[in-house]
C-alpha cells in the first residue's frame, strides 16, 4: 500500500491545498477477504471530511486504508475547511468545483485514476455526506455513485434561518456558506433542485447510498431526503441503525456503502 499527502495549487480556490491518498498497489492477496475485487481494474473514491475536519481524518480516525485494501480502491481525501463543498461564485471560493472537477482532473494527470465516470465514486461524513450528494449531482459526468453518512442535509433548516447561532456555526458563517435563506430552497445548493434538473434533462444520475444513526440529531433531515428520493423513484439505498454522530457509526457503514455502490453504480 502506498499512502501520502500532496500539496498543489488549485485554481478554483486560488491556493495551495492538501489531499491525502491511499493506493492499493502492493497488498498481499491473503489479506483480502474478497479477492474478486482484484479481478477488475482499481476504482477511485474521493472521500470527504466533516465540519472542522481535514484531509487526514479518514486516514487516522477512519478506515481509509482498510477500504483501499479490501475493495481495490484508490482513495483521495481533500481538505476544504468548513465550506460545505459549495461554490461561492468567485475564483478563490469555488470549493464545489474544486472537489467535483479540478481535483479529479489533477488525479487523472498525476496518478492515472478517476479516468472514467463508472470507475469513480465520492463519499463523506456529516458535512462531507452533504458534500458527497451535492457534488455527485452537480458533476454527474465525473461520478457514478455517492456514499453519504450522517449527512448534514440542513438546507431546509438553513432556509428558515433567523440569524441566531445554529449548532456550531456562527451566523456570519451560515450566511457566507449558504447565502440568502430566502432563495436557498430554489438554488443549486439544494440537492433536490440538482436532482430534478438532471431528471428533467434525461441525464445520467449517480446512484445514492446514505445511512444515518437513529440517535443522530441529523436523523430527521435524512428522513426528508429519503422521502424526496422515494417520490422521485431514484436509484438509491437507505439504511439506519443504532448509532450517534461518531466514528463508530461511520467506520461501520462506509464498507456497507462501498459494497452497495460497487454493485449499483
Task: Give the number of other Cβ atoms within 10 Å of residue 160's Cβ.
Answer: 10
pLDDT score at 265: 78
Q: Is 166 helix (H, G, I), strand (E, B) or coil?
A: strand
Query: Residue 207: beta bridge partners?
Result: 145
Tell whether the model's pLDDT for residue 174 goes beyond 90: no
Quote the cell numbers at residue 164. 441566531
Instruction: Choose between 255 and 161: higher pLDDT.
Output: 255
How many distinct structural domains can be found in the chain?
A: 1
Distances (CA, A) of 43 to 14, 75, 85, 215: 29, 9, 22, 33
Instruction: Choose between 197 and 91: higher pLDDT.
Output: 197
> Model pTM?
0.96
pLDDT score at 162: 67
Tell whether the model's pLDDT for residue 164 goes beyond 80: no
Q: Tell me which residue of 256, 246, 257 sits closest to 146, measured CA to CA.
A: 257
Query: Distance of alpha carbon 16 from its chain centroid, rounded?
Result: 21
Q: Is 223 helix (H, G, I), strand (E, B) or coil?
A: helix
Query: What CATH number has the domain bearing residue 256?
Result: 3.40.50.1820
The stretch 170-193 carries a mean pLDDT of 90
Helical packing angle, 191-201 and 127-138, nearest 10°: 20
pLDDT score at 167: 65
The stretch 165-176 carries a mean pLDDT of 75
Q: What is the pLDDT of residues 229-252, one digit of tens each?
A: 999 999 999 999 999 999 999 999
Tell whether the model's pLDDT for residue 225 goes beyond 70: yes
pLDDT score at 175: 84
Range of 19's domain?
A: 2-264
pLDDT score at 77: 98
Q: What is the pLDDT of residues 2-61, one digit of tens each?
A: 999 999 999 999 999 999 999 998 888 888 999 999 999 999 999 999 999 999 999 999
The stretch 205-215 carries a mean pLDDT of 98
Residue 204 pLDDT class (50, 70, 90 cuts): very high
Average pLDDT, the chain: 95
Amino acid at each position: 500500500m502506498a499512502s501520502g499527502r500532496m500539496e498543489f495549487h488549485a485554481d478554483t480556490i486560488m491556493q495551495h491545498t492538501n489531499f491525502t491518498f491511499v493506493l492499493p498497489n502492493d497488498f498481499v492477496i491473503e489479506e483480502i477477504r474478497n479477492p474478486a475485487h482484484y479481478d477488475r481494474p482499481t476504482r477511485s473514491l474521493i472521500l470527504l471530511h466533516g465540519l472542522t475536519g481535514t484531509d487526514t481524518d479518514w486516514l487516522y480516525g477512519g478506515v481509509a486504508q482498510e477500504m483501499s485494501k479490501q475493495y481495490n480502491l484508490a482513495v483521495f481525501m481533500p481538505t476544504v475547511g468548513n465550506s460545505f463543498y459549495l461554490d461561492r461564485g468567485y475564483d478563490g471560493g469555488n470549493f464545489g468545483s474544486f472537489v467535483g472537477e479540478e481535483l479529479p482532473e489533477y488525479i487523472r494527470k498525476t496518478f492515472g485514476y478517476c479516468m472514467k465516470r463508472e470507475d469513480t465514486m465520492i463519499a463523506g461524513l456529516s458535512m462531507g455526506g452533504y458534500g458527497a450528494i451535492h457534488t455527485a449531482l452537480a458533476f454527474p459526468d465525473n461520478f457514478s455513485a455517492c456514499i453519504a453518512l450522517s449527512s448534514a442535509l440542513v438546507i431546509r433548516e438553513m432556509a428558515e434561518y433567523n440569524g441566531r447561532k445554529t449548532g456550531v456555526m456562527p451566523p456570519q458563517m451560515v450566511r457566507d456558506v449558504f447565502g440568502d435563506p430566502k432563495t436557498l430552497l430554489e438554488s443549486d445548493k439544494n440537492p433536490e433542485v440538482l436532482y430534478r434538473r438532471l431528471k428533467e434533462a434525461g441525464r445520467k444520475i449517480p446512484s445514492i447510498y446514505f445511512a444515518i444513526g437513529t440517535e443522530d440529531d441529523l436523523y430527521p433531515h435524512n428522513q426528508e431526503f429519503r422521502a424526496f428520493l422515494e417520490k422521485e423513484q431514484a436509484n438509491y439505498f437507505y439504511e439506519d441503525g443504532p448509532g450517534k454522530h461518531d466514528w463508530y457509526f461511520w467506520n461501520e457503514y462506509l464498507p456497507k456503502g462501498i459494497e452497495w455502490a460497487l454493485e449499483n453504480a
